[in-house]
Structure 1
Amino acid sequence: MDDIRQTPSIKELEKILFGGKRSGNHVDEVWPNLFLGDMSVANDRFSLWKLGITHVLNAAHGKMHCQGSHEFYGSTVEYYGVPADDSPSFNLSVYFHPCADYIKEVLSSPGGKTIYLTLS
């Protein structure tokens, strides 16, 4: 079976982004076993442990304010970092498919693995 990936329209993205309830949380479960959060939780290993996080996908790897790395999380958390810059000229799209593949691999692995996505 072919793996056809289609980019959602702007209208579909707006519906997803603005259709949900508003949250002031630092982390939210956006899909079963898929969490989206910010730097404050990403840099707090105890909070990740309490959430049962087993994998971290960090879209802010390499930033001075982000501590994320294999060394920081230790052997209990698998780490995948994307060296993204917070700049309008940075081409983040080259990382979309590798990150999607990583998420799919983790969510389909035995044991109900959890991913934590940090965007800042």
Structure 2
Amino acid sequence: MEENREEPESFEVSVQQLNDLLTDHRGLFTRPSTDCDPVHPGICVDNESVAWNVTRLKRLGVTHILNAAEGNSFMHVNTNAEFYAGTGFIYHGIPASDFDHFDISVYFEEAAEFIGQALEYNHGKGKVYVHCREGYSRSPTLVIAFLMLRQNMDVHTAVATVRRKREIGPNDGFLLQLCRLNRRLTAQQGSWDQ
């Protein structure tokens, strides 16, 4: 009896394909080489160092801060709304952990909404600083999800867009969750087109 194997849909993107986008010509990941990289108009991704520096954030023109690693453990950044009280920044924290098994997808919509509001702030003059501890996995994952949810990019394009501007390396669990988001959005788009 012949097994009926379905060919993968053309919109399927694998974690390996995304990792191929993220590595250099030798197949190696590279750590970020600069601070506060503008990865899309009005969106900067960085590590925690600038998050602690209110003066620098103001010089950069930041209006909103999205901490993708809010919390008190060694892998989190202990800034919060109280830390930024009186600075004029609009703050939002997400308590994500950088583990393959952590479900960051539950925060995709929340982060996309905050980033979208930031970019619309003051008649489109808002600027959002998205950070985690290293600016390498959690924060770029949330920005990629925003690009998919609000800018109608597919996962491949969104990852490539951020990677062109900053060295990033979301863990494989996060990449898988982005692939699942891509599958869902593509299926929704297909049903709207009919």
TM-score (structure 1 length as normaliser): 0.78
Selected match of 1:86 from 75, 94, 98: 98
**Which of 9, 18, 23 pairs up with 2:13?**
9
Runs of 4+ in 1 over 4 A off after TM superposition: none
Query: What residue ranges of structure 2 are gaps of 5+ in the alignment?
Result: 1-10, 25-30, 134-194
Encode CA deviations 1:9-60: one digit per residue, 9 max, x unaligned: 3436753x458xx851121001111100001111111111110111001110
Whole-angstrom CA distance in 2 between matches of 1:47 and 1:26: 11
Give the alignment of 1:25-104 within 5 angstroms: 25-64=34-73, 66-75=77-86, 76-104=88-116
**Secondary structure in 2 matching 1:94:** helix
1:90 partner amino acid: F
In the aligned structure 2, how far is the partner of 1:18 from the partner of 1:33?
25
Seen in structure 2, the aligned counterparts of structure 1 residues 13 and 52 have a Cα distance that, compared at 3 Å, is farther
Deviation at 1:68, TM superposition (A): 1.5
RMSD: 2.4
Q: Counterparts of 1:47 and 1:9 in 2: how far apart (Å)?
A: 38
Aligned mates of 1:97, 1:8 — CA distance in 2 = 21
Q: Which amino acid aligns with 1:57?
A: L
Identify, as 1 or 2, the structure richer in strand. Answer: 1
Residues 1:86 and 1:63: Cα distance change in structure 2 (over 3 Å)? farther
What is the percent sequence identity of the aligned residues?
32
Query: Shift of the alpha carbon at 1:98?
Result: 1.1
5+ residue gaps, structure 1, are 1-6
SS in 1 for 2:62: coil
How many residue pairs are counted as aligned between the two chains? 111
2:145 alignment counterpart: none
The 3-state SS of whatever aligns with 1:71 is: coil
Q: CA separation of 1:8/1:57 partners in 2, compared to 1, >3 Å: closer, same or farther?
A: farther
Give yes or no for contact 2:67–2:130 (8 Å, CA) kept in 1. Answer: yes
Give 1 or 2: higher helix fraction.
Answer: 2
Contact 1:34 1:115 in 2 (8 A): yes
Using the alignment, how far apart are the partners of 1:12 and 1:64 within structure 2? Answer: 29
1:115 paired with 2:128, answer yes
Do the aligned partners of residues 13 and 87 (structure 1) sit closer, same or farther apart at CA in structure 2, a change above 3 Å counting?
closer
Largest Rg, 1 or 2: 2
**Cα distance between partner residues in 2 of 1:107 and 1:26:** 20
TM-score if structure 2 supplies the norm length?
Answer: 0.50
